[in-house]
Amino acid sequence: MNRVLVLPVSIAVLTACAAQAQPFPNRYVTLVVPYAAGGTAEVVGRPLAAEMAKLLGQNVVVELRPGAGGNIGAEMVAKSARPDGYTLLFASLSLATNVSLMKLNFDPRKDLTAVAGVATFPNLLVVGADLPVKSVADLIALAKQKPGAINFGSSGPGTSSHLAGELFKAAAGIDLTHVPYKGSGAVYPDLIGGRINMLFDLMGSAVGFVQGGKVRAIATTARRRSTSLPDVPTIAESGFPGFEFGAWLGTFAPAGTPREAVSRLEQATIQGMQVAAMKERLAQMAAEPIPATAVDFGRFFNDDVERFARLVREGKLAPLQ
């Protein structure tokens, strides 16, 4: 009887060991995008996931988990996902800013590990086509005539569209009212309809609306003008020298993920970004490079956390709660 029982148990153990010994990955990987559909994170994340899948030899499935300025999806990966490399977070600037601006149920510096940096993207300041402004100077003049009456939509508290608006408000010395939404895509119906006056949206999300004539672009937060919209000046050119702002994208895994898995995912992300179609897409979105390797991107992320913590300490940004 004992001999009969030993055989199936041994087979089960050997099968489990063999599965564990297979090189990573041996099943699909989930890429969690913690922002709403139609935004830059999804626009970049889906084609990047397709390229990563080719390099990894397994599907990379994009899962949208929007809400709370990216915190819902980020917390899910940080606290609930197994640290085995099969769940990745495709995070943006808000992952760094919210450490100082919000009360989080997790610490991204301890609960996540950087995998690879992708790029940084400038914001485009757009206004409704019916708003009587065609320049930054016009907008500031109107805001000073009607303190607090001019509002700006955002993708949510702590996102780049919110922070760009707050930094612009402080630099220009004007009173603007912030109206948060769940993703920039949700702002456009109200912006086009005149219920929202302005929006700092990421270039990749905004260009189509601008080129379609539904909204008017009056400035970019980039260091230089975009080749996609060469007639749109930078905010720095528009009377605010040194004003520059952008939102980066990068991949993270739960803390404790095996180094071998992180390394494979790091390579797949970096190599996926080098594919001609991805490079062309990023160029159209006025993307700028950031540190790409896990080690360098990790330092970049921690430096960004400290940069916004300093802005809060100096009173240039106020905590959101």
From the list 276, 309, 272, 270, the residue with the least C-alpha distance to 290 is 270
pLDDT of 14 > 80? The answer is no
Q: What is the pLDDT of residue 38?
A: 79
Residue 71 has a CB neighbour count (10 Å cut-off) of 24
What band does 183 get if pLDDT is binned at 50, 70 and 90? confident
Residue 192's pLDDT band (cuts 50, 70, 90): very high
- Range in 51-55, 78-82, 249-253, 317-321 with the lowest mean pLDDT: 317-321
pLDDT of 7 higher than 80 = no
Please say if the pLDDT value at position 265 is more than 80. yes
* pLDDT > 70 fraction of the chain, expressed in percent and rounded: 93
Quick one: pLDDT band at residue 21, thresholds 50, 70, 90? low
Residue 320: pLDDT over 60 = yes
Mean predicted confidence (pLDDT) in 146-159:
89
Q: How does residue 9 score in pLDDT terms, banded at 50, 70 and 90?
A: low
Q: Which of 47, 32, 56, 10 is nearest to 260 (CA)?
A: 56
Decide if pLDDT at 6 tops 50: no
Q: Determine the distance from the C-alpha atom of residue 20 to the mean position of all C-alpha atoms in its chain, rounded to a whole number.
A: 33
What residues contact residue 70 under an 8 Å CB cut-off, 6+ apart?
A: 34, 35, 91, 92, 94, 95, 98, 156, 158, 159
Residue 70 or residue 183, greater confidence: 70
pLDDT value of position 18:
47
Instruction: Answer yes or no: is pLDDT of 139 > 50.
Output: yes
Q: What is the mean pLDDT of the chain?
A: 90
Neighbours of 178 (CB within 10 A): 15
Q: How far is residue 162's CA from residue 178's CA, in Å, rounded to a whole number?
A: 8
Structural domains of the chain sorted by starting position, each given as residue range(s) with its CATH number in brackets: 27-121+247-313 (3.40.190.150), 122-220 (3.40.190.10)
What does the angle CA 110 – CA 116 – CA 121 come to, to the nearest 5 degrees?
105
pLDDT value of residue 1: 41
Q: How large a percentage of the chain has pLDDT more than 90?
A: 67
Q: Please state the rounded mean pLDDT for residues 254-274.
A: 97
Is residue 127 pLDDT above 80, yes or no?
Answer: yes
Please compute the mean of the pLDDT values over residues 243-252 and round it to a whole number.
Answer: 93
Give per-residue pLDDT as tens, 216-232: 999 999 988 888 889 99
